[in-house]
Structures are given as C-alpha cells and as structure tokens.
C-alpha cells in the first residue's frame, strides 16, 4: 500500500496537467481578494489490511487579470498491514530484515502480511498566467516527504483556445526526483534471505515490525529514481450540452523501481517454502496512457463517462471505465451514483513463487499489484451546492479486487491455498468548497 500511495505522488504531475481540462468542477474563477477554498477528508480502509486517513486542501486566488495562484496540501496517515510477496504455506514463516537487525513471523496457513505505520506530507503550488486572449500557461511545483521516501518535482503546461472557444488544446511536461530510503538501506536484489547476516555487504531494510514503525530511513542517502511525464490533450465542446476530452500521456521512470519490502518465495517440488529472495524489477519503465471522457448535460442532470487505457513495456495492460450520473434534486441538493471497473494483465516478470531447483530469473516480483487482476468499485455521493459559492458532499464507495486465486502452475500444497485473496475496501470522502 505504501508504494501504491507513492505512485499517486509520482503521477501527480501528469494527473494535475490532465485535470486542468477536466470539467469535473464547475466553480467560477475567484474574484479579486477572494480565495476559492476546497477541502476534503478521505478515509480508506481495507478489510484486515491498510487504513489511510487523508485530509487535503486547495486554495486558489486571482493575483492579476486572469492570473491565479493555487496552493495544495495533503497529509496521509497510513497504518495496517500489506502483503510482503511471500506465498502462504502450512508451516510458520520467519522473515529476516536485510539489515539483519530484526524480523517478523507469520503463523502457518496465514497469508504473509507485514505491518507498517507512516505519515506523508505533500505540498504543491500552481501559477497560471495568460499569454494572450486565447492562450495561457501553468507552472507547478510539488514535493512530498515521509519516513523513507522523498519526492520533488515540477511541471509546465501550455493551453490554447481556438478563436471560437469551442476547442482547448494542451501540452504539458513534468519531472521529479524521488529518493527511496528504507530503514537500514535498500536490500540487494535477488539476495536470498537465508544468506542475510548481521553485517550484510549490500545493506538492506525491511518493513517488518520493529524495523519500520514510523521510524526514519537514511535521509536523502537512498536509492534514486527519475520520473518524466508528457501530456497532450484536447477538449471539444460538441454542443450546448455535450463535451468531449481526449488526453495522451507518456510516462518514463528510470532508476530504483524495486519495492524494498517485497520478497518472492522459493519452493521445492512439494510446494513447500524453503527460502526467499528480494524482488528485482527492470530499472526502466515506459508507459503510454490514453484517456477519453464524455460529459452530457441534461436539462438538470449530468452524465459523465470515461475510459483509460494503460500499457507499458513491463507487459501490463489495463482498462479503467468510470460512469457517474448526477441527479439534481431540489434546492441545490444532488445525488450521484458512481461505478468503476478496472482490469489489468500481469507484468512479464510476475511470479507467485519460484521453484528452488531452477535458476533465478533476472527480474522477478510477487507483488500482487503486478499480477493479473480485476477491480470493481461502486459508490454514491450526496451533497448540496449553493450557486457557485459553496458545495458540501459526502461520498461512500465499496471496492472489491480479485485475482487468480488458484493459478494453473501452482505446485503441491500450493493448490490447497488461496494464492490471491480478494481485497475489500471502503472509501469515505467528505468534500467542502467555498469562497472566502
């Protein structure tokens, strides 16, 4: 879960650029000496796994004629347990940190989970300035920090309107430098846990109990990663009621892309676990993302449909379809049902486990987020909007994620276990917007 949250920051530059053209918010530009304030509190809870409490805010103010500054902030508090990549087995399992300083154990017939407790702070600022009557630019800077992770970057976006103002073109670039500093240092890729000693040559760390209970890592002396994003987009007003948006994004990552807290089980011919190795991922990742959104405004209600297609050179392909319908009730009250379906293929190097008698491949990961999976989310948002001055809403969602529980290549006793337990999560978000 931690690295999943990290990914949301690493993709923030791209998402922020895309959102500039997304008609999801209908608030007017703030008047001089008036701040547009948006705040939200999100609670995310996975069954028997991770809990996240996340307050966030956005403040926007006009500082010149059609010139704006926006300040954003997020605070994440994350606790719970996440799969460490090892497979379930019928014997107790003990995992030693790569630093050799500590470890943790998992009972027999239990899915291996590792506990963590961490807090992340992220801040960002945007400056939007017109270049002419039909064009404008946006400069952004972002930064986030937590006990074992730091990210800092920026982006530049240019937007052009056609003379009839029916089409907006956009182009944006962004980049960041991320530093991963797990407690004790990053483990050596493909190192067997049985070879870990109290003085490992490669250093290492683990997210186990006592090793990462909110403690600090190695400051900025960790492994680095470079991120670069490119976004090209167009938004077209099709009619008085209809709008279409199309974006293309290219994302490149280079450097340390491993999850330092994930291992892969080594099994014998009976399916019993005999050892573990730390995962190893390629040091480069290229991804292409296509995003299409259609908005139709009925006399009162609003329908939004979107689809996102993702493909990368790790072998992952994913499709995400979102459907939202906003019913306007009366006196500003509205109700908004929501549905999402997500599906993805597995990474080329994903393995639920490795036969101990065979050579270890150059790249391997048992991270469930790189496996073939499906996810379904349903929700509803209730709220009240008062003209363009304020809006208050509450959104509740339920998500179920499933994968290959009994893969065809399971060996021996592995066939008796659920190798990809389904994940259930509840998401609650309270949102408020107002002019001050």
Helix/strand/coil (H/E/C) assignment for every residue in 61-92: EEEECCEEEEEEEEEEEEEEEEECCCCCCCCC
Token reading at 115: 């506990």
Length of the chain: 436
Instruction: Estimate the share of the chain in helix, then strand, then coil, as percent rounded to the nearest 5.
Output: 5, 55, 35
The residue written with tokens 């030693």 in the block is 96
Tens of pLDDT along the chain (436 residues) come to 444 444 433 333 333 333 333 334 444 555 566 889 999 999 999 999 999 999 999 999 999 999 999 999 999 999 999 999 999 999 999 997 665 556 889 999 999 999 989 999 999 999 999 999 999 999 999 999 999 999 999 999 999 999 999 999 999 999 999 999 988 789 999 999 998 875 433 443 333 343 444 444 444 568 999 999 999 999 999 999 999 999 999 999 999 999 999 999 999 999 999 999 999 999 999 999 999 999 999 999 999 999 999 999 999 999 999 999 999 999 899 999 999 999 999 999 999 999 999 999 999 999 999 999 999 999 999 999 987 779 999 999 999 999 999 999 999 999 999 999 999 999 999 999 998 7
pLDDT for position 98: 61
**What's the CA gap between 328 and 337, in Å, rounded?**
12
Q: Which residues pair with 31 in a beta bridge?
A: none
Q: Are 385 and 300 in contact (CB under 8 A)?
A: no
Token reading at 366: 């048992």
**What's the CA gap between 91 and 28, in Å, rounded?**
61
At 124, phi and psi to the nearest 5?
Answer: -150, 155
The residue written with tokens 């399916």 in the block is 271
Token reading at 329: 């009730």
CA neighbor of 255 nearest in space, from 190, 312, 186: 186
pLDDT for position 31: 59
Considering the four listed CATH numbers 1.10.1740, 1.10.3470, 2.40.160, 3.80.10, the one that applies to the domain covering 2-435 is 2.40.160
pLDDT for position 30: 59
CA neighbor of 146 nearest in space, from 312, 6, 319, 345: 6
Strands 50-64, 67-83: parallel, antiparallel or unpaired by DSSP? antiparallel
User: In Å, what is the CA distance from 39 to each residue of 48, 54, 60, 344, 393?
Assistant: 28, 11, 12, 32, 11
CA neighbor of 126 nearest in space, from 265, 229, 19: 19
Q: What is the greatest pairwise CA distance in the chain? A: 72
What SS3 class is residue 385?
strand
- In terms of pTM, does the model score above 0.85? yes
Residue 65 CA, chain-centre distance (Å), reads: 36
**What's the CA gap between 378 and 355, in Å, rounded?**
39
CA neighbor of 170 nearest in space, from 160, 178, 162: 160
CA neighbor of 143 nearest in space, from 257, 37, 9, 255: 9
User: In Å, what is the CA distance from 21 to each residue of 159, 235, 287, 335?
Assistant: 9, 7, 21, 24
């Amino acid at each position: 879960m931690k690295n999943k949250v990290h990914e949301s920051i690493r993709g923030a530059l791209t998402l922020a650029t895309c959102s500039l053209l997304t008609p999801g918010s209908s608030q007017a530009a703030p008047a001089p000496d008036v701040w547009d304030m948006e705040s939200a509190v999100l609670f995310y809870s996975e069954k028997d796994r991770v809990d996240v409490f996340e307050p966030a805010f956005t403040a926007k103010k006009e500082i010149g004629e059609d010139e704006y500054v926006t300040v954003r902030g997020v605070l994440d508090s994350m606790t719970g347990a996440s799969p460490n990549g090892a497979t379930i087995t019928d014997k107790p399992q003990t995992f030693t940190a790569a630093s050799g300083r500590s470890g943790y154990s998992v009972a027999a017939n239990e899915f291996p989970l590792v506990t963590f407790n961490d807090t992340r702070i992220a801040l960002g600022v945007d400056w939007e300035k017109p270049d002419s009557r039909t064009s404008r630019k946006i400069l952004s800077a972002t930064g986030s920090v937590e006990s074992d992770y730091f990210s800092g970057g920026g982006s530049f976006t240019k937007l052009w309107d056609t003379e009839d103002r029916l089409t907006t073109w956009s182009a944006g670039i962004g980049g960041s430098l991320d530093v991963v500093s797990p407690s004790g240092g990053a483990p050596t890729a493909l190192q067997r846990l049985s070879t870990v000693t109290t003085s490992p040559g490669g250093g290492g760390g683990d997210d186990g109990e006592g090793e990462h209970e909110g403690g600090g890592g190695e400051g900025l002396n960790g492994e680095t990663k470079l991120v670069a994003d490119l976004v090209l987009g167009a938004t077209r007003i099709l009619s008085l009621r209809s709008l279409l948006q199309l974006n293309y994004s290219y994302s490149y990552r280079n450097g340390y892309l491993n999850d330092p807290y994930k291992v892969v089980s080594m099994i014998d011919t009976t399916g019993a676990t005999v050892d573990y190795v730390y995962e190893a991922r390629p040091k480069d990742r290229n991804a292409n993302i296509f995003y299409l959104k259609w908005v139709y405004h009925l006399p009162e209600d609003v329908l939004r449909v979107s689809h996102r297609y993702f493909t990368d050179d790790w072998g992952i392909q994913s499709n995400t379809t979102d459907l939202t319908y906003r019913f306007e009730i009366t006196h500003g009250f509205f109700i908004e049902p929501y549905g999402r379906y997500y599906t993805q293929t597995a990474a080329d190097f994903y393995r639920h486990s490795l036969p101990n008698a065979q050579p270890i491949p150059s790249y391997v990961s048992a991270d469930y987020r790189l496996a073939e999976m499906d996810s379904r989310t349903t929700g509803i948002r209730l709220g009240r909007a008062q003209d363009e001055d304020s809006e208050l809403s509450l959104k509740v969602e339920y998500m179920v994620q499933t994968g290959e529980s009994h893969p065809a290549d399971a060996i021996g006793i592995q066939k008796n276990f659920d190798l990809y337990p389904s994940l259930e999560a509840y998401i609650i978000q309270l949102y408020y917007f107002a002019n001050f």
